[in-house]
Structure 1
Amino acid sequence: MPCADRLSRAAAILALCAAAFVAVPAQAQGTYEAALSSARLGDTRQLVGLLNRGLDADTVDLQGNTLLILAAREGMLSTVQAILQYRPRVSQRNLAGDSALMLATLGGHEAVADALLEAGAELNHEGWNPLLYAAFEGRLGLLQKFLQRGADIDALAPNRSTALMLAARNGHIEVVRTLLAAGADTALVNDRGIDAATWARQVGNTVIADLIDAEQARRAGTVRLEIR
């Protein structure tokens, strides 16, 4: 899983979490736990009640997960929609560097991802991002939406992998076709000096490797080939 090298915000969020637990009354602690549980389990009614009584919509757990992140990760659409009414930080990221949109994408929760996109969730930022997760998991529909909304097709993960590399390595041929058609750079290499075609071939995805090689040759003008 693409989950390494994403702890740049750890110190700040840990400090925030620690501060939240200083001299917290038992009743407030119970409210806090109830809110986190409601977000995870999709108990929209209880969570809305807490929010209406003044609960911060950007409340976080010890891993830096906001209520929105927790609900999105579990695919709780109605809960996500309810939280969005309280104007949370839609693109807030947890200690691991994951946002609500990234985790919705990872889990294949397309309706949740749509709601987050409509709320202005960020697509382009440093580190892992929604497009990279969509490519890694083969979420073709979401990947197409992200590209349509201006996602950086050649954005680099911390290990310098691109969406094309991740899709090629994991055998997602339709994602590879989509990325190639959209102009993904076939010549980029990751931190091990491996390009998308080479990585695909190393793991036995020879059809994908050949597809990428053919597109690279076509762009160079050595062959005329239409990718279908």
Structure 2
Amino acid sequence: MKTLLAALALSAATLAQATPVDDLVMAAEMNDPRVVSSLLLKGVDPNLTDSRGRTALFTAVREGSLKALESLLASPQVNVNAVNADGETPLMLAAIRGALPAVKALVERGADVNRKGWTPLHYACSGPDNGVAAFLIAHGAELNARSENGTTPLMMAARYGSGDLVPMLLKAGAEPRAANEQELTAADFAQRSGRDNMAAELRRAMAEAAKAAK
């Protein structure tokens, strides 16, 4: 009984100490656009972190709270290119989740499709996709972007992506001969993942690219 009472007292104290930012992040988590809009109109800064270090925008993307996300993006204050502790942007997190509606909303609001190092396209090629990679490419994503260690989106697609991503990237003009700092190509990535047919397809593309370059 004492333990239960202590827990209830702690919960009550936590609620009493909740700030408007905590309320905003909670509304984003619960996908409540009405509360999000109300708090923003009251002047709550959408870029501040709550008591758990979360921001409303990242929370809405992570939880798939599309209605709350749209309300947040309607605020001229929200920083759509903010980065989290891992150097990721909201667009990158939406991309790796294959959350196309969120990706579209973020890009329309001005989220950067290209950036130094890991890009949203790298992330899209590492997840379920759902058309995210094609959308990003159509909006100017760099096909052969290099991460800090030289990894390209094609390499990520070869190792982690859905089966239709590699053909799509190759058709769009991705360079199959590119190698990372460990001298691994997309074909090597596919081979190491046991995707033998894909590895063979990539090696054919490498040979064709080399022939065309002569």
TM-score normalised by length of structure 2: 0.84
Is 2:213 the partner of 1:214?
no
1:82 alignment partner AA: S
Percent of aligned positions that are identical:
32
Of structures 1 and 2, the larger Rg is shown by: 2
1:157 and 2:147 equivalent?
A: yes
8 Å CA contact 1:65–1:93 kept in 2: the answer is no
Q: Quick check: 1:186 aligned with 2:176?
A: yes
Choose from 30, 46, 52 the match for 1:57: 46
Q: Unaligned regions of 5+ residues in structure 1, if any?
A: 1-25, 223-228
Amino acid at match of 2:159: R
> Does residue 1:167 correspond to 2:135, yes or no?
no
Partner AA of 1:169 in structure 2 = R
Pick from 60, 74, 77 the counterpart of residue 66 of structure 2.
77
CA contact (8 A) 2:98 2:131 kept: no
Aligned counterparts of 2:49 and 2:178: Cα–Cα separation in 1: 37
2: CA distance, partners of 1:134 / 1:145: 10
Partner of residue 126, structure 1:
116
Q: Residue 34 of structure 2 aligns with which residue?
A: 45
How do 1:109-120 residues align onto structure 2 when only pairs under 5 Å count? Answer: 109-120=99-110
Q: CA RMSD in A?
A: 2.1
Q: Are 2:195 and 1:205 equivalent residues in the alignment?
A: yes
CA contact (8 A) 2:95 2:129 kept: yes
Shift of 1:71: 0.7
State how far apart, in whole Å, the 2-side matches of 1:129 and 1:103 are: 10
Structure-2 change in CA distance of 1:63 and 1:30 (3 Å) = closer
Partners of 1:172 and 1:70 lie apart in 2 by: 26
Q: Residue in 2 aligned with 1:17? A: none
- How many Å separate the matches in 2 of 1:165 and 1:190? 9
C-alpha distance in structure 2 between counterparts of 1:192 and 1:62, whole Å: 41
Going from structure 1 to structure 2, the CA distance change for 1:63 and 1:164 (only over 3 Å counts) comes to farther
The residue number in structure 2 matching 1:33 is 22
SS at match of 1:32: helix
Q: Would you say 1:146 and 2:123 are equivalent positions?
A: no
Following the alignment from structure 2 to structure 1, what is the Cα–Cα distance between the partners of residues 96 and 189? Answer: 22
CA distance in 2, matches of 1:66, 1:152: 28
Where relative contact order (Cα < 8 A, 6+ residues apart) is larger, the structure is: 1
**Deviation for aligned residue 1:158:** 2.7
**What one-letter code is carried by the residue in structure 1 that aligns with 2:88?**
D
d(CA) in 2 for partners of 1:141 and 1:31? 36
TM-score by length of 1: 0.79
The answer for unaligned runs of 5 or more in structure 2 is 1-14
